[in-house]
């Protein structure tokens, strides 16, 4: 993986709304996406870029990982976003790139932000078809699915079934390239039961986390994208038995009647490593609250 960030949740914050920006700084989101694009009305675009630039310049968000979603590279707003952000310094982690439909568009963002990590949004049908090449660009550390734009471009109908293929392709391409796959937003922020189902499905497909629209989604998203206590227990036991078998000169270890092969050992390591990173983040949060 190209980075060490924990990215179970990336929460959008409209760049023109100072009340939400201040609230987001103290939220439990693993990372923030300060938005200059879809959540900002046309009349507030200039205000948004000035506000975001000012907050970043003041290092208002502290150590919380912060990304900025700029406007589409084909729009007049993009050049203004670039001018507002390029010379602030190392106050944000990377750029979320909208409407990426292929490698050439990624190159455009990379040329304008050469020292930033990039997170392309896979929200066009062409992007899904070219997602493997997009994932392998050297500045790309993660890709995120944008299902609503994808469905509009496809002229399809939003359903679990219609999104299964693009989600699977995005997750596979990202993992193959060694970067982080982030799943789409859940647009009905009031239906938390459905959010849980979608998040669990997302994790089963290989996603590391998801885009978030509202703080009340965070507890469920974090729970679903974190190893459960029983998973951690089983992973620890699996590694113990595997190491014990190797020490005794046995090529095979068994657990609950199952053969423990190298793929299960790798997955156990993945689970324990993620658990370690989550605990580390929680410990830092507790220390900060005590201060």
**Residue spans of beta strands (DSSP E) within 93-137:** 94-97, 117-122
Contacts of 85 (CB under 8 A, 6+ apart): 49, 52, 53, 56, 68, 70, 92, 95, 113
* SS3 at position 235: helix
120: closest CA among 102, 139, 97?
97
* Tens digits of pLDDT across the chain (291 residues): 778 899 999 999 999 999 999 999 999 999 999 999 999 999 999 999 999 999 998 999 998 999 999 999 999 999 999 999 987 766 567 999 999 999 999 999 999 999 899 999 999 999 999 999 999 999 999 999 999 999 999 999 999 999 999 999 999 999 999 999 999 999 999 999 999 999 999 999 999 999 999 999 999 999 999 999 999 999 999 999 888 888 888 777 888 878 888 888 999 999 999 999 999 888 777 766 665
pTM over 0.75: yes
Who's near 68: CB < 8 A, 6+ residues apart?
15, 33, 34, 35, 36, 52, 56, 81, 85, 92, 94, 95, 96
> Domain boundaries in the chain?
9-224, 229-290
CA angle (76, 44, 158) in 5-degree steps: 80
- Evaluate whether the domain defined by 9-224 bears CATH number 3.20.20.60: yes
96 in Cβ contact with 69 (< 8 Å): yes
Residue 270: CB atoms within 10 A of its CB come to 12
Task: Name residue, tokens 């392309």.
Answer: 120
Q: How many CB atoms lie within 10 A of CB 159?
A: 9
Look at residue 237 and give its three-state secondary structure: helix
SS3 at position 226: coil
């Amino acid at each position: 993986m190209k980075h060490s960030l924990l990215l179970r949740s990336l929460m959008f914050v409209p760049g023109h709304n100072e009340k939400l920006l201040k609230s987001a700084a103290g939220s439990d989101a693993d990372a923030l996406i300060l938005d200059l694009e879809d959540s900002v009305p046309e009349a507030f675009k200039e205000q948004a870029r000035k506000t975001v630039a000012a907050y970043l310049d003041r290092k208002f968000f502290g150590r919380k990982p912060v990304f900025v979603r700029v406007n589409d590279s084909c729009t007049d707003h993009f050049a203004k976003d670039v001018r507002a952000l390029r010379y602030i310094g190392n106050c944000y982690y990377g750029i979320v790139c909208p409407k990426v439909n292929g490698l050439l568009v990624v190159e455009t963002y990379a040329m304008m932000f050469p020292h930033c990590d990039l997170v392309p949004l896979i929200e066009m049908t062409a992007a899904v078809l070219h997602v493997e090449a997009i994932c392998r660009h050297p500045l790309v550390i993660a890709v995120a699915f944008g299902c609503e734009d994808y469905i509009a471009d496809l002229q399809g109908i939003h359903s679990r079934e219609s999104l299964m293929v693009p989600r699977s392709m995005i997750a596979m391409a990202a993992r193959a390239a060694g970067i982080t796959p982030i799943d789409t937003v859940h647009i009905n922020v009031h239906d938390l039961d459905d959010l849980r189902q979608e998040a669990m499905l997302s994790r089963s497909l290989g996603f590391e986390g998801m885009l978030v629209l509202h703080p009340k989604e965070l507890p469920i998203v974090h729970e679903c994208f974190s190893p459960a206590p029983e998973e951690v227990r089983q992973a620890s036991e699996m590694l113990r038995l595997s190491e014990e078998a190797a020490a005794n000169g046995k090529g095979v270890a068994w657990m609950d009647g199952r053969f423990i092969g190298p793929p299960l050992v790798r997955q156990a390591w993945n689970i324990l490593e993620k658990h370690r990173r989550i605990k580390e983040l929680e410990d830092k949060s507790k220390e900060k609250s005590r201060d």
